[in-house]
Amino acid sequence: MLTYEPGETVVHDLDPRSKLAVQIGFAATALAHTAPRALLGLSVVTAVVLALARVPLLRTLYAYRFALVILAVGPLVAAATLGPPWIDLEAGLATALASYRVLLILLVSAAYVRTTPVRESRAAIQRTIPGKPGQLLGIGVALVFRFLPVVQSDLRTIRDASAARLGTERSARERATTIGLLGLSRTFDRADRLSLALRARCFSWNPTLPALAFSRRDAPVLGIAVALLLTAFL
Amino acid sequence: MATEQNDVELVDGDVVHAFARAALLATLLGAVAPIAIPIPFSPAPITLQVLFVFLAGLLLGPLWGTVSILLYLAAGAIGLPVFAGMAGGLGVLVGDSAGYLWSYPLAACLIGLFVHRGTDLRDPAEISTALVVVALVTATVLIYGMGVGYMAWLLELELWEAITVGALWFVPGELLKIAAAVAIVESGRIDTV
């Protein structure tokens, strides 16, 4: 699984907002180009980012295996044609190039995930999006992070209890209904207790924001982000 | 370090309640990502995420249902392992399945508007089954339309090719999720906000 890991790399030290900007710039230019030369350039950028952030390539590819299946099947489906000559290499190649840029986008975002703790991402959200929407989004993301293991464990309990009562022998519709109903009622119970706890602690629209500051190191990175974004229009 | 010296502006009780439910439903949506139930006659097992997108619209309404899904997408974007296959990262939100992910908030909003006709929520157990089914089928068409459309554009596939890769295998599972969502709201065991 791809998660944050503490480290000493340059990318770890950057402000999360510059890292987000680079990702957005990279994705924009990758979505705009599929020419082999452009993809070569993007591959070099990806390789540099992965090396700087010390992202293990194989483990990251494994983490994105579900997307990789579609990206691998796509060119095959595009190449297959009904009737002679049965294989259209040109269409297959076009889809293969288009799939490859998606892989690059995923790898660049993996560098962010690996080097940025959730609290910094939260701070970036709350400082970038103004007003109440930003507050709710930032706190909401922090709550998802906090409760994910709890809700996962709730779901495990429900599935184990169901399996112990031969629930796995039931029809798929019944299984989906059981997991949905029990999962939801447990989760809403938790939410109601959480809302009481939030109010007891004076949950407010204007809490002190988590600390975050651009350093001198961020300037070139922001420059690269803008440059990447501009190449999307080339 | 800079400090703020304003008065504390408390969040209303109703908003806190709805927000807590939206945040935890978003968590649930992420937590069910790894659960797959095999179904007969289809190589693709069903995952339950779309079921909870349906339930977000039905139980939280057009406003908070949408907020809930947006929280889910934001959590995934910053790298929490909430997308299919326990993946995360901003790249997934522009990757091959991005069309499906971005259709979720619209689908939840659409279902909420269909069923509740506004932001004042009605008890979904009292709404006619036909209306709920129509809302869910429309939302499913929206989800697959956006999902397949984006995939076809991104990977430069013909439309029918994208339908083969991204939709055909999942139709039986979708019918089953609609049935499950209807059964859950009609059980009346879950109250709205």
Per-residue model confidence (pLDDT) at position A174 = 87
The length of chain A in residues reads 234
The DSSP call for residue A204 is: B
pLDDT in tens, A146-172: 999 999 999 999 989 988 988 888 888
Q: Where are the domains of chain A?
A: 10-116+213-231, 130-200
For residue A89, name the pLDDT band (cuts at 50, 70, 90): confident
Are residues A172 and B38, on separate chains, in Cβ contact within 8 Å?
A: yes
User: What is the rounded CA–CA span in Å between residue A64 and residue A62?
Assistant: 5
The DSSP call for residue A87 is: B
pLDDT in tens, A42-57: 999 999 999 999 999 9
Are residues A78 and B46, on separate chains, in Cβ contact within 8 Å?
A: no
For residue A92, name the pLDDT band (cuts at 50, 70, 90): confident
Per-residue model confidence (pLDDT) at position A144 = 94
Comparing CB atoms, the residue among B52, B82, B96 nearest residue A71 is B96
**What is the rounded average pLDDT of the residues B86-98?**
88
Per-residue model confidence (pLDDT) at position B1 = 56
Residue B36 sits at φ, ψ, to 5 deg, of -125, 130
Mean pLDDT across chain A: 89
Are residues B8 and A181, on separate chains, in Cβ contact within 8 Å?
A: no
**DSSP assignment string, chain B:** -----SPP-BPPHHHHHHHHHHHHHHHHHHHTTT-EE--TT-SSPEESHHHHHHHIIIIIHHHHHHHHHHHHHHHHHTT-S-BGGGB-SGGGGTSTTHHHHHHHHHHHHHHHHHHHSSSSPP-GGGS-HHHHHHHHHHHHHHHHHHHHHHHHHHTT--HHHHHHHHTGGGHHHHHHHHHHHHHHHHHT-S---
User: What is the rounded CA–CA span in Å between residue A152 and residue B82?
Assistant: 11
Comparing CB atoms, the residue among A143, A177, A195 nearest residue B183 is A177
What residues of chain A lie within 8 A of the CB of B50, using their CB? none
- The type of residue at B129 is T
Give the domains, in start order, of chain B with CATH numbers: 13-33+47-187 (1.10.1760.20)
Tell me the β-bridge partners of B142.
none
- What is the least distance, in Å, from the CA of A229 to any CA of chain B? 15
Mean pLDDT across chain B: 87
Per-residue model confidence (pLDDT) at position A84 = 72
A8-37 residues touching B, CB cutoff 8 A:
20, 23-24, 27, 31, 34
User: CA gyration radius for chain A?
Assistant: 23
Per-residue model confidence (pLDDT) at position B60 = 93
A108-127 residues touching B, CB cutoff 8 A:
108-110, 112-114, 116, 118, 121-122, 125
For residue A131, name the pLDDT band (cuts at 50, 70, 90): confident
- 3-state DSSP of B67-83: HHHHHHHHHHHCCCCCE
Per-residue model confidence (pLDDT) at position B124 = 77
User: What is the rounded CA–CA span in Å between residue A124 and residue A213?
Assistant: 10
Per-residue model confidence (pLDDT) at position A71 = 87
Comparing CB atoms, the residue among A91, A190, A208 nearest residue B3 is A208
What residues of chain A lie within 8 A of the CB of B180, using their CB? 173, 176-177, 180
Are residues B48 and A176, on separate chains, in Cβ contact within 8 Å?
A: yes
Per-residue model confidence (pLDDT) at position A143 = 94
| Shortest CA distance from A22: residue in chain B | B90
| Shortest CA distance from A60: residue in chain B | B87
- What is the least distance, in Å, from the CA of B117 to any CA of chain A? 23
Structure tokens at A187: 């989760």
Tell me the β-bridge partners of B83.
B87
CB atoms within 10 A of CB A153: 11
User: What is the rounded CA–CA span in Å between residue B66 and residue B63?
Assistant: 5
A186-205 residues touching B, CB cutoff 8 A:
187-188, 190-192, 194-195, 198-199, 202-205
Are residues B6 and A206, on separate chains, in Cβ contact within 8 Å?
A: yes
Per-residue model confidence (pLDDT) at position B40 = 65
Are residues B35 and A179, on separate chains, in Cβ contact within 8 Å?
A: yes
Name every residue whose Cβ is closer than 8 Å to that of residue A142 and which is 6 or more positions away in sequence.
A118, A119, A122
Residue with tokens 């701070």: A123
pLDDT in tens, B15-28: 999 999 999 999 99
Most distant CA pair in chain B: distance in Å? Answer: 63
CA end-to-end span of chain B: 39
For residue B3, name the pLDDT band (cuts at 50, 70, 90): low
Using the predicted structure, report yes or no on whether residue B139 has a pLDDT greater than 70: yes
A-B Cβ pairs (cutoff 8 Å, strict): 266
Most confident range (mean pLDDT) of A67-71, A80-84, B132-136 is: B132-136
- What is the least distance, in Å, from the CA of B75 to any CA of chain A? 5
pLDDT in tens, B141-180: 999 999 999 999 998 888 888 888 878 878 888 888 999 9
CB atoms within 10 A of CB A200: 8
Burial B158-185 (b: 16+ CB within 10 A, else e): eeebbbbbbbeebeebbebbbbbbbbbb
